Amino acid sequence: MRKILLETGFSNSEIFCGTGAFEARAKGYACGQVCVITDTNVNALYGELINKTFPECFLTVIPAGEESKNPKTLLKILNDMLKRGMHRNCTVIAFGGGVVGDIAGLAASLYMRGVSLVQIPTTLLSQVDSSVGGKTAVDLNGVKNVIGTFYQPKEVIVDPLFLKTLPPREINCGLGEIVKYGALDGAIYKKLNENINNLRDYGFLEEITYDCILYKADIVKRDERDDKGLRKALNLGHTTGHAFELNYGGRSHGEFVLIGMYYELYIAVKRGICGGQYAEALKNLIYEVLGAMPCYPNISDAAKAAVHDKKNDDADIALILPVSEGEWTELKLGLKEYTRYLKECASEFRGLL
């Protein structure tokens, strides 16, 4: 077990990573007023562990799936906490994947203007990404993360124990974000390439998870509120990925990040931003995770969705593009040009099939 300290100006997060982290850290919350929030899937697998570890907790189980990430579920959680007489000094434990972490984090940040929050991410995606950094949210009318806060968890417990029960698709989803980190950080890129035939090995995942969190924690430390131009690096692949996810659906978030990365790499190469060889190496990693690239119809409709991306300040479409190992840059494109590139990429890519 290793510890990462994420110090922001206002509050600190302690992140405990590795085998044994749950065993070592969770018992610290056995006593005291604790509200554990989880979902139906996780509860089916780990309900007994939750009861054993937090015998006196107030357990709230939300339906599994992104559909739960809405204001109604959020209000139900807050209402239940109030009914159970939770105090200002209680602790909310988010025990689950990204949806649980986002909504439980938001609930913790809002209940009596903020109570202690502990994140125990149980998916690879939430371990390498959403559980660290303090972004909380629910969706509104189908638009992602419209309502949210920046709220650092007091502690994050990242234990590979939970990866063992994940379906392969969930591992792939997490690998999507891990490959994204590879496109940002040279050391992660190197490690991914060295282990390209080994990406799903639990020992390797434990190690690379730590590396990704360390990278993210460093960025969050310097740009907690995503307003200093650093944190947006983490959106690599996301502008196009989100747009496609919104339009086509049917795949995990991490997979859409990889699909987005693929299209954006095409733009990066066309614009002379990224060298062809490096782009090919990144595409190799993408293929290794995805197996094959999906073909989508009506690319222009999907492109439009990128404009509404809340990460953009105006109608320009902002793309975070890989430059070379450990280097990235931002490119802003108008919708017309962006659509043209996406279509070109899709047709070249279809030609390969």
Q: 144 or 180: whose CB is closer to a second copy? A: 144
Q: Which residue in 164, 210, 216 sits closest to 18, CA to CA? A: 210
- Restricting to residues 97-126, name those near a second copy by CB under 8 A: 109-114
Assigned token pair, 323? 């430059």
For a second copy, the binding residue among 48, 141, 168, 276 (CB under 8 A) is 141
Distance CA 168, CA 175 (A): 10
Least distance (Å) from a second copy to the CB of residue 316?
Answer: 12
Distance CA 172, CA 179 (A): 10
Least distance (Å) from a second copy to the CB of residue 151?
Answer: 9
Contacting range for a second copy; rule: CB under 8 A; set: 135-143, 159-167, 197-205, 323-331 = 135-143
Phi and psi at residue 217, in whole multiples of 5°? Answer: -60, -40
For a second copy, the binding residue among 49, 59, 78, 331 (CB under 8 A) is 78
Distance CA 173, CA 160 (A): 15
Least distance (Å) from a second copy to the CB of residue 312?
Answer: 8
Least distance (Å) from a second copy to the CB of residue 89?
Answer: 5
250-289 footprint of a second copy as x/- string (CB under 8 A): ----------------------------------------
CA-based max dimension of the chain: 62
Distance CA 336, CA 346 (A): 15
In this structure, are residues 77 and 17 in contact, taking their beta carbons and an 8 Å threshold? Answer: no
Which run of H or E residues covers position 180?
helix 168-182
Q: Does residue number 146 form part of the binding site for a second copy (CB under 8 A)?
A: yes
Least distance (Å) from a second copy to the CB of residue 154?
Answer: 13
Contacting range for a second copy; rule: CB under 8 A; set: 60-68, 143-151, 180-188, 319-327 = 143-151
For a second copy, the binding residue among 47, 71, 275, 326 (CB under 8 A) is 71
Distance CA 224, CA 226 (A): 6
DSSP 236-285: TTHHHHHHHHHHH-SS-HHHHHHHHHHHHHHHHHHTTSS-HHHHHHHHHH
Q: Does residue number 208 form part of the binding site for a second copy (CB under 8 A)?
A: no
For a second copy, the binding residue among 27, 87, 222, 332 (CB under 8 A) is 87
For a second copy, the binding residue among 52, 84, 88, 169 (CB under 8 A) is 88
Q: By CB under 8 A, how many residues form the interface with a second copy?
A: 33
Q: 81 or 289: whose CB is closer to a second copy? A: 81
- Restricting to residues 289-348, name those near a second copy by CB under 8 A: 310-311, 313-314
Least distance (Å) from a second copy to the CB of residue 110?
Answer: 5
Q: Does residue number 32 form part of the binding site for a second copy (CB under 8 A)?
A: no
User: Residue 329 CB: number of other CB atoms within 10 A?
Assistant: 14
Give CA 122 to chain center in angstroms.
Answer: 12
Q: 79 or 284: whose CB is closer to a second copy? A: 79
Q: Does residue number 73 form part of the binding site for a second copy (CB under 8 A)?
A: no
Q: 112 or 305: whose CB is closer to a second copy? A: 112
In this structure, are residues 35 and 57 in contact, taking their beta carbons and an 8 Å threshold? Answer: yes
Task: Please state, in angstroms and as integers, the Cα–Cα distance from residue 196 to each residue in 175, 278, 283, 288, 328, following that order.
Answer: 11, 15, 12, 7, 22
In this structure, are residues 185 and 210 in contact, taking their beta carbons and an 8 Å threshold? Answer: no
User: Residue 113 CB: number of other CB atoms within 10 A?
Assistant: 7
The residue written with tokens 């492109």 in the block is 303
Contacting range for a second copy; rule: CB under 8 A; set: 142-150, 266-274, 279-287, 289-297 = 142-150
- Restricting to residues 210-229, name those near a second copy by CB under 8 A: 225-226
Contact footprint for a second copy (CB under 8 A): 9-10, 71, 75, 78-79, 82, 87-89, 109-114, 135, 137, 140-141, 143, 145-150, 225-226, 310-311, 313-314
